[in-house]
Structure 1
Amino acid sequence: MRIISGEFKGRRITAPKKLPVRPTTDMAKEALFNILNNLYFLDAISVLDLFSGTGNISYEFASRGTENIVAIDQDFGCIKFINDTAEGFEMPIKTIKSDVFKFLENTKQKATIIFADPPYDFPLEAFVKIPTLVFENNLLETGGILIVEHSKYTPLSHLPQFSYSKSYGGNVFSFFEGEQITEEEEEEEEKY
């Protein structure tokens, strides 16, 4: 895999073959970041990278100047690989070795962008559980989005908070948005 843009553009990263991963294709990654570049200043956001695998998506954010990145995966080999790669490139990626669902149930950490790339062969209930936990636990910052990567055979458009999806080959990115609250509502909430 290679980093497609930013400070580390063109750098190749070779993950060990034994890691249980399916990295996002370069074409899909490039299309995704074209969308995100139009929505956010990537150097001013925070990111949770769920089922981070090789860290492919985290490296793209770091290369584009994002400094608050947390990568979560339950595989020790994946976490070690991300730590080693991030250290080698001096990227500000923090890792957490955890089952993603347990992490989502227990964390209070919010992010502007939550990206989830679970195994494509997960049952539909597992895919549904991701946005459910994110929104039940209020893990998106105001104006934030949840992006779930999945195959074209996994329907997610019926879920609450679903906004739109984009397809690239066999990859689909489904975008979920919370209710946007105004600054006044946020200030009112903080009083309590």
Structure 2
Amino acid sequence: MPPNRLLESQAAVTQKGESQEAINRARRNQKGLKKMRVISGKWGGTRLLAPKGRGTRPTTDRNREALFSMLGARLDFDGLNVLDAFAGSGALGLEALSRGAAHCTFIENDVAACAVIQQNIASCGATDMTTLLRRDARKVDFANSAFDLVLLDPPYGKALAEALLPILRSALADDALLVLEEDKRTVFIAPDNYTENERRIKGDTQLIFLAPI
């Protein structure tokens, strides 16, 4: 499924007049970034960078492998339109693309993380399959979108997913699947118009599988 044109029009990776130069400055200032990898698929083994600092918390390779094993038992990645919100390194969306998804929209509000996502997209040769928005995900206009798979990995304990899910509901395909990664101690109740299908604990993390209703 092709990306939504309205989202494409927002994809200058700018906010409040900031330009691509802000992303470029962040790229020049990167030192000591953590290393990750694409787990499987056509880009399996490709090295990825992870943002440093407290603003992002990338999913570990082990947890990502476990998550995509569970997803693989539930859906076929081929041709999916994916949303990776609170994207961090972009590793979740790139993993989905590596396994056959057609397009991924990445949303991330941190400028340094956006710089890392751009580099990771380039490392995979995925520019034509991706849209990157430097925005607060809660303020994106999702009109006319139809996401098949939504990957949510927000900073823990800030109720960001709870705020985004009602906004996102109209942008989902009828049979969409959503996965929320949260701290295992966080109490999460599916909001109206969603149902929780399953919940798994992986170390200090809980993976919550949701579907629209």
Tell me whether the two structures share a fold, i.e. TM-score over 0.5: yes
Whole-angstrom distance in 2 between the partners of 1:4 and 1:62: 11
Q: Which residue of 2 aligns with 1:146?
A: 178
Q: Which residue of 1 aligns with 2:137?
A: 100
Q: Which residue of 2 aligns with 1:190?
A: none
Whole-angstrom distance in 2 between the partners of 1:164 and 1:16: 29
Q: Which residue identity lines up with residue 174 of structure 2 in the other structure?
A: T
Q: Mean alpha-carbon deviation: is it higher for 157-166 or for 29-38? A: 157-166
Structure 1 residue 19: deviation in Å?
7.6
Contact 1:27-1:168 within 8 A present in 2 as well: no
Spell out structure 1 runs of 4+ moving beyond 4 A. Answer: none
Contact 1:72-1:98 within 8 A present in 2 as well: yes
Secondary structure of the equivalent of 1:174? strand
Structure 1 residue 159: deviation in Å?
3.8
Structure 1 residue 172: deviation in Å?
1.0
- Match 1:133 to one of 158, 167, 184: 167
Report the CA distance shift for 1:176/1:48 in structure 2 as closer, same or farther (over 3 A).
same
Secondary structure of the equivalent of 2:73? helix
Q: Which residue of 1 aligns with 2:155?
A: 119
1:37-76 matched pairs, under 5 angstroms = 37-76=72-111
Secondary structure of the equivalent of 2:155? coil
Structure 1 residue 94: deviation in Å?
1.6
Size of the aligned set, in residue pairs, is 173
- Match 2:121 to one of 86, 91, 94: 86
Identity %: 27
What stretches of structure 2 of length at least 5 have no aligned partner? Answer: 1-35
Whole-angstrom distance in 1 between the partners of 2:201 and 2:121: 29
User: Once the two structures are superposed, what CA deviation does each residue of 1:64-114 show, in whole Å capped at 9, x if it has no partner?
Assistant: 1212100001112222221222123211222011101111xx211220011
Contact 2:50-2:58 within 8 A present in 1 as well: no
Q: Which residue of 1 aligns with 2:204?
A: 170
Structure 1 residue 62: deviation in Å?
1.8
The TM-score normalised by the length of structure 2 is 0.74
Whole-angstrom distance in 1 between the partners of 2:108 and 2:117: 10
User: Once the two structures are superposed, what CA deviation does each residue of 1:32-87 show, in whole Å capped at 9, x if it has no partner?
Assistant: 11121122221221100000011110121121121210000111222222122212
The TM-score normalised by the length of structure 1 is 0.82
Q: Which residue identity lines up with residue 4 of structure 1 in the other structure?
A: I
Contact 1:62-1:93 within 8 A present in 2 as well: no
| Aligned-pair Cα RMSD in Å | 1.8
Name whichever structure is richer in helix by fraction. Answer: 1
Whole-angstrom distance in 1 between the partners of 2:187 and 2:177: 18
Structure with more relative contact order (C-alpha pairs < 8 Å, separation 6 or more): 2
Whole-angstrom distance in 2 between the partners of 1:157 and 1:2: 32
Whole-angstrom distance in 1 between the partners of 2:101 and 2:66: 18
Report the CA distance shift for 1:19/1:62 in structure 2 as closer, same or farther (over 3 A).
farther
What stretches of structure 1 of length at least 5 have no aligned partner? Answer: 180-192
